[in-house]
Structure 1
Amino acid sequence: ALKKEESCETGALQDTVIKLTRTEADLGVALEELKRLESQWIEGQAAILAARLIPGAPCPVCGSRDHPTPASSDYEPPNEKLLKTKSSRVDALRSSVDQIRQEKAGFEIRLSQIRADEDARKERLVDFESKTVGEIETELESFRKELKNADAARKKAIDLTTQFENLEITVAEGSEVCLKTEQQRNESMIGLQRLQGELSALKGQLPEDFQDVKALERAIAGNRKSIKSQEEAFEKSRQAAARANEQVHSCQAAVKAAEDGAAHCSKRLLVQSEEFRRNLLQAGFPEEAAFRGARRSPAEIRTMEKEIAVFDSGIGAATDRLSRARLNAESVTQPDMAELQSAADQARNALESAIKEEATLVARLQQIERSRSEHAESARLLRSLEERYAVIGRISQAANGINKDGITFQRFVLAALLDDVLFAASKRFRIMTNNRFHLQRVARRSDRRVPGGLDLEVHDTYTGSARPVNTLSGGESFLASLSLALGLADVVQGYAGGIHLDTIFVDEGFGSLDPESLDLALRALMDLRQEGRLVGIISHVPELTERIDARLEVTTGRKGSSARFVV
């Protein structure tokens, strides 16, 4: 049976190892595929944004309405649904790997236990294999004879018990002694019931063939406790029970012989194995369970021998005390069995309640263990999600502007472009304002309700401090706008490479300038003209007609407007 069980467990373990190897391989493939798809998804985001661009519509990243070279991809990037599906498969494979590893550990533990049991059984069979079936049957026949002798000793002990009861009746003449010994009798009956319970437990561990021997032990143990409890009450009755003392010694010797035979029988039966089960059936054992129930370990046998030796040493003293007690006892009243039975019922009910409470606590403990395992699994999943979120969440926060500056990814890109525009615009703004002003981007976030990173301010060299652009006068605002337009043109031309801005038109705004500012603004526009650009000015300021030689004059009249070139 053990060989078959070991073979089954070994096969199951091998299947589990193969299953674990395959599942781990599938997990590795799934992880590689997930990493590849995530890489393609990240690389394909620019192509996805480019595919959504509409001609003439502003770019969601830079805001430009021109899309000269949109990004492209050689393959279609995966969608988020596919990524979620692959991620779920990876999580499922990880759970399967953990479960299979637990099953593998369980198979290994059970296989080790089976092999240990097999080794122990082989050691016990070493002595048994040297014996023949005939020798075993001879030993069993000897055991049966010893059991018969023990049964005869039991009957003899019963007779002795009857004689003891008769002697107790004959000496039960003193009411005063009875009152003194009544309490001792009650205590002896309680001890008797306790020992009877212990003997019943021992009886359940023995084969059916040895039940009569345990009944003998119970009767002798009852007499022994009765003798001990009546030591003082029966001190004067020693002479009347002298012959009973001799019979008790004889009974004790018979009991010892029966105990020795039972111990010897148990020790011999320990070496019986499954290969001789049919021989055990012929010897009187109905099944293997009866054989296993009859086994006793050497330690238990030594314990029983010590108990018998203690009993032997105490029976003599008990008999002497019994003799003295019988001389002094005048009468003995039979204890109240109903009261003792009630106490026993109460103890039995308390035991049953304790057993039920233990079962309830065990079930609760199992539930707590299951909850603890589920909590540990949830904690493991939470740690895994936190590890994933540590990177993805940080990227999301940075891209969506969840930071102290309120700068999103788009505004960060635009801020870099704006810095270049402001650098180019400030060069012209200084010229137009006689080195008083230059534009710069606000580094701090003044209002946390709105995103930051793209606000402008003007630095005034006269005061040495910066102030918002909305504090500029009308003329200063026009010069700042003109500088930004020219700076943006320079930056776009520098970024685009092949694109060249040849013409620029300025509509109105010059009327708000004082003569000095007007002169500086026109000087900056003339510098653009010298660089090869065509500068057009639309204005009603009369002073411009004196400074611009080539112009298109538009005159209104009753018949409509007329235009003429002045060169």
Structure 2
Amino acid sequence: MRILALRLANLASLPGPLELDFASPPLADAGLFAITGPTGAGKSTLLDALCLALYGNTPRLRLAPQRDSQLDDAAGTALTTSDPRTLLRRGTASGHAEVDFVGRDGRRYRARWAVRRARDKADGRLQAVEQSLRDLDDDRLLTAQKREFDRLLPERLGLTFEQFTRAVLLAQSEFAAFLQADDNARSDLLERLTGTAEYSAISMAAFRRASEAKKRVEALETRLADDLPAEPAARADLERRARAAQDAFDAVQRDARGLEAREQWHASDERLRDAVTAGRRRQQAAEDRWQSLAPVREDQAWRRVILPQRHRLTRQAELPGELDALEAAHQQTQGALADAESARDQAGRAFEAAERTLAQAAEARRTAEPALREARELAMDLANLDHQLAQLEKTQAERQAQRDHLETDHQKARTEHRQRRQQHADWQATLQQLLGEHDDLETARQAHRSALERAHQRQLALEELASHWREYQRALTHHQRLFERVQADEPRLARLLEQGRQARRRLDDAQARHDTVTGMIERSRAARSDGVVALRETLVEDAPCPVCGGLEHPWRHHPPASPEAEQLAAQQREEERQRQEVDEALTQAKQARDRLFGEYSALDASLKQARQELQSAERQCREARDALARHPLHGELATLEEDQRDTWLAEQSERAKADHAHHDTILGKLNQAEARIEPLRQALQEDATRLARFETRREGLDTELQALAEQLPPLRQRRDDRARALAARLGEHASPDAWQQHLDARQENARQAREAAQTHRHETQREHQRLAQQAAHEAERLATLTHERDTLNAELAEWRRTHAALDEARLARLLAQADDAAERQRQQLEDADHDRQQAAASLAERRQALLDHRRDQQLLDGAADDAALLDESAEAEIVRRREALEHEREALAPRLDAAQQQRDEAVHALRDDDRRRQRHQDAQAELQAARSEFRRWGRISELIGSADGKAFRRIAQAYNLEQLLEHANVHLAGLSRRYRLVRGGSELGLLVIDRDMADERRSVHSLSGGETFLVSLALALGLASMASGELAIESLFIDEGFGSLDPESLALAMDALDGLQALGRRVGVISHVPEMHERIPVQIRIEPEGNGTSRARLVSE
């Protein structure tokens, strides 16, 4: 992978447009180049642009808060601080970053990231980011969609974002801190550098899973202890009581079924009697309707008489209106024919006048042709003279404008030259003031750097001491809070356990009551259902009942009576109320049980977690106290009272920060003065050259303006003479073309007028001919209709004499009646006759059904005919029997309810024990599964699990550290064969083998500044090798890390960088250290220009 070019515009402090072409000199010839500039100038913005173009994000933005932190945009909208669009410069409408690179397949690609504002206005709303990927070898756009771009870019480049930030943007400065850290800090750095945070998550997940499995086992064991089934003896007693109650209930139920059969006979008799009464009413209504349709039957008879003559009668009525309309139209046509004849004659005269006008216009055009040719020649000469004059005047104006602009630029250049001289003198004075007691710039800079380093080391030590002190205070506070929490939760857990047992007993009582009431309701409804009646009719004598198995069927011929509709509805409402009542009681009991169980489980888990956290807090207190005691500055802190330590730490830290800021400010001012003086000196030399060029250019323009002033007057005189001659020839016309157009228009108008007159004459002739034909046709039609009218009147007068009973009003009404209305009347007569016949047949069927129902009931003494079965004596006997049946049913109801209640209570007690047995069996199986799950997760947690994730993280990081050292030693051998890195001293400890000292093992803390740089650079290159795998990385960038090197260490670092470029890699070093700038000839200088703006300049020395 190799970076070929970087382009950007309007990103952060760099307005651009800026292009860095790594494939062209001088960058193409430089294996090592520097990106230089003061702190905050925008050096890292180049790396941001590189990451934006490739991945749409930057490492610095990845570390910003995702949601909680927001910024106000220029358009008034809020953006999160992690949004890449915040890199767009304020006051600009668009920006972009673009990278050309060679991919893993050897082809050239271009990745582009761009953002713009709405309407391309600086105050417009930010739009969505645009990303595209193009194959430069084929000049083919691969994608312009973000999702597809995110997929294709890593495939073509060969690196993901995380791999790129480790393999191309070397983390050398972070590895310098990595070398000086203890095991805990080194573990955190290694996790962040290698991207292995998932191992901590896996360790904590294993610990959490084992804890959850253990809590599940304990909860199931508690539930089993609270819900035990009945003993075997108690179970046998429950079964005996249930069988006895069922036998007693079956005996009473047989009596009830006999009553139900008799009640069913009375209900059927009442239904059949009501059907006979309704049939009589229907028959009478059908007969009344038939009699009311007598007028309709009479109209139907006359309609059959009229039907043969209907069309002739209708035509007789239509003819008078047609004759009147045709006569009026014929008179109107005669008048229009006379008008058309007059218009035809007038159009002929107009056509002759138009032909004369056309001949006069043609003659005038031929007469003017010679004068028109002469005017055209004069106009052409005048146009040429005007063009020459305009060109000379334009040239004169341009030269005059150039001279005026040149004079303004000349004056501006003289003013800028004076300002630069003054600035140069001011910066020289500032530099002398900053040097103070030092002899030269380098001596002053070195003194301030040493003081800056001492202040920095003091500040770091104080910050580390304050961190240890705060950690110790937090651990003590956390331990006390956990201890108080455990003391408060233990009594509450015992109370919840007792309340849960009480809730379980209340739930069992509610379940038993619910089952009893539900069973009673279901049996009551089953006895009343239509399915019971249907099953009863299928019973056979001496054959067992399919429901109860009995051989006697007392209710087969005398079923029990069904209650009245209102009584049945009231009973159903009462049953529904009872069902809702027990459902609500059961639901409330379950909710109370579940709520208490949930509170108990949550509190139990919380208490166990608190106990574990209390043990961890005690260990953290010991560790924090030991870490505080080991710190070098602990002796100073120990002399103070505890309430004075925070104040002392804050004061000492502020003092160290103030010293650091003072020396850093002096260094910055020294660098700034040095950076300002040299460009001003070069600018003064350039100003002198530019002022001389201004003077030469002004003299040339004065000579050219004098020559133009001499050529203009003679040319203006010739132009005026030609203009006067042309005006005399044209007369009243503006130009030859206008004169020509006037003549052509006169002739064209005359021709169009002749054609219009000819067209109008033809139209009047055609209209006169059409009207004459129409008048003849109308006269013929009048004669035909008059003959048809006379014939119909004679024929229909004879038909009317033979049907004198048909009056005029009825005839008119029947003729006017529509066919669909007549059809509806016919259908109405047929429906009425059909209804009358059907009502009589239905009445006979219903009367016979009632007789069949009563015939075998012996309602009267002796034999009875059909009429007697329907008279009042039979009705009275039926009423008497029904009242006796009601008394028997009322006496049986209390016995049935009591037997059913006893049976239900026994059955529900047995079923409740069945449910307990089933729950116990299910819970046992669930407990076995939970124990198996706990054993599995427990073994995993013993290996890798821990509450803080350290267990598995240390295992993984030890392996990763081995891999990192293996790769780093390969690169360290190429940089310096003297050293080799190995693990030692602790689990994540590092040692250096010094081959020049008989392979002595040294601490990494004993390395000098240059040696530390070599080792940290080798570690960074090792991480890059791990991240890139087999992919060859030819472009590397190192951001900072050189500020604390002395001259000897800096020389060693430069030798290491030269070794990198010797291996065929192009290395970019980002630094604000002047000594680095002096040793690297090719530089990309980032120079501040004020107001948050910088410019980038490529320099090759």
Q: Normalising TM by the smaller chain, what interval?
A: under 0.3
TM-score normalised by the chain length of structure 2? 0.16
Higher RCO (C-alpha under 8 Å, 6+ residues apart): 2
